[in-house]
Amino acid sequence: MAHLAGSQEWLDGQVRLRGWQAELRAHALPAPPVRYGDWTGESVCRIGQRMVASGLPSSIFVASDLMALGFLRALHENGVRVPEDISVVGFDDNEFAPQVYPPLTTVRQSFATVGARCMEILLGRIEGRDVDNTPAVPELVVRASATSPRTA
């Protein structure tokens, strides 16, 4: 497994990386090296080309759907089959995620819910009220780009 992280200059990139690392720890899995893109499909396509040449993991979590598209392109250009050879999961559930081939498995985050929670927390703090700081829970949208883990 691997992670293609977004820019660490962005809070989104930092939080998604920390979340991935926390899940690995929670399941007693080793953390492989992380590769970093700049949120563009082009940057991740180049990274994907290098990964194909050096050996691919069985699965990869990509920090955004746009970045995942660049990775899918690199795989396609090199004859790598998704999900038969590698499972790919993105983040955002952009409108194009179900339209690409194979349709992209992704993490959906309701921006309306996130925005409402932010406002609730902000107003609660301004008004001096105790407010639940629990973040909104994202949803995994399973499509054809990912499959069950392979056994050795």
Q: What torsion, rounded to 10 degrees, do the Cα atoms 72, 146, 79, 60 define?
A: 60
Give the model confidence (pLDDT) of 49-79 as tens digits.
999 999 999 999 999 999 999 999 999 999 9
Residue 136: per-residue pLDDT: 82
Give the model confidence (pLDDT) of 107-137 as tens digits.
999 889 888 988 999 999 999 999 988 878 8
Domain ranges of the chain: 2-109
Give the model confidence (pLDDT) of 79-101 as tens digits.
999 999 999 999 999 999 999 99
Find all residues with CB under 8 Å of 130, minimum gap 6, and list them. 124
Fold of 2-109: Rossmann fold (3.40.50)
Confirm whether pTM is higher than 0.85: yes
